[in-house]
Amino acid sequence: MRIPIVAGNWKMNTTVTEAERLVMEMLEKLNRIEGAEVVLCPPFVSLVAVGMMLEGSSIKLGAQNVYFVTAGAYTGEISPLMLSELCEFVIVGHSERRWHFGDTDEVVNKKVKAALANNLKPILCVGERLEEKEAGKTEEVIHRQVTAALDGIEHVVASDSSEYRLSRDAEIAASLVIAYEPVWAIGTGKAASGEQAAATIEFIRDVAAKTIDKNAAQSLRILYGGSVTAANIAEFVAHPQIDGALVGGASLKAVEFMSIIQQTIEIKGSTK
């Protein structure tokens, strides 16, 4: 049984003060959640403050990006080793990184491996652009992105040991989350339909099964992201293929984000 995940990607929003206020509002309602993992991904500068507030709660923390080198002369970058002291998850390969900051499939693969090697759980984002969807290339694009991102992850070496920590596929599946985020659905209010998302997510699982082991791919959590709101979350999580959501704009509104989490828990709980 896969435990659902609802993750909030705050993107480049909230000052530290605003982040603290938002978490305070959420904590009042969400101190102990059962039935889903909830992950907040604030900007880097708020990780410490938010992390301190989340101590003792079941809400987890994630970063929005990571560089692939542990330390060195890379002005302005944040390393996976640094993040490993602060959070459990890290978003990798978000389309905004791919399209605004030039993260190629090769860079995304290095970031996934660097995250895993430093005991961070990557939330790997994949998704096609509008012109690719209209050209009937969704599966081709997704296949390329997933295959490239997962290439060689079974050989990742943890920084704190010389063992091949991730040599067991089950371990990979437990450490990795994939989010299907069609670029045309992000921030547009035009979410994919539940059926579309479920079909593509099934395809992602099939592609992953060819890269990692088949059983491991069955236990991999795969989320939908793109204009998820309290009004449409039910449409997605009602599909057994969809293990939760990566939420952007709606995760900045405490009441709405709570509702997304609660609906996910109720629907996934009743379809077990």
Q: What are the residue numbers of the active site?
A: 94, 181
The contacts of residue 79 (CB under 8 Å, 6+ apart) are 66, 67, 69, 70, 71
Q: What is the smallest separation between the CB atom of 7 and ligand 13P, expressed in angstroms?
A: 8
Which tokens in the block code for residue 199?
């079909």
Q: Which CB, 169 or 181, lies closer to ligand 13P?
A: 181
Question: How far apart (Å, rounded) are the C-alpha atoms in residues 214 and 206?
Answer: 8
Q: Are 230 and 259 in contact (CB under 8 A)?
A: yes
Binding flag, residue 63, ligand 13P (CB under 6 A)? no
Q: Which CB, 172 or 233, lies closer to ligand 13P?
A: 233
Q: Which of 63, 246, 261, 265 binds ligand 13P (CB under 6 A)?
A: 246
Q: Which of 80, 182, 194, 249 binds ligand 13P (CB under 6 A)?
A: 249
Count of other CB atoms within 10 angstroms of residue 210: 13
Count of other CB atoms within 10 angstroms of residue 152: 11
Binding flag, residue 248, ligand 13P (CB under 6 A)? yes
Q: Are 86 and 61 in contact (CB under 8 A)?
A: yes
Q: Which of 141, 252, 19 is nearest to 125 (CA)?
A: 141
Binding flags for ligand 13P, 209-228, as an x/- string (CB under 6 A): ----------------xxxx
Query: According to CB under 6 A, which residues from 171 to 190 bind ligand 13P?
Result: 181, 186-187
Binding flag, residue 124, ligand 13P (CB under 6 A)? no
Binding flags for ligand 13P, 64-103, as an x/- string (CB under 6 A): ------------------------------x---------
User: What residues does 245 pair with on adjacent strands?
Assistant: 6, 224
Binding flag, residue 115, ligand 13P (CB under 6 A)? no
Q: What is the smallest separation between the CB atom of 232 and ligand 13P, expressed in angstroms?
A: 10
With vertex at residue 261, the alpha carbon angle to CA 39 and CA 243, rounded to the nearest 5 degrees, is 75
Strand segments (E) across 64-202: 89-92, 121-126, 177-180
Q: Which CB, 80 or 225, lies closer to ligand 13P?
A: 225
User: Which parts of this chain interact with ligand 13P (CB under 6 A)?
Assistant: 9, 94, 181, 186-187, 225-228, 246-250
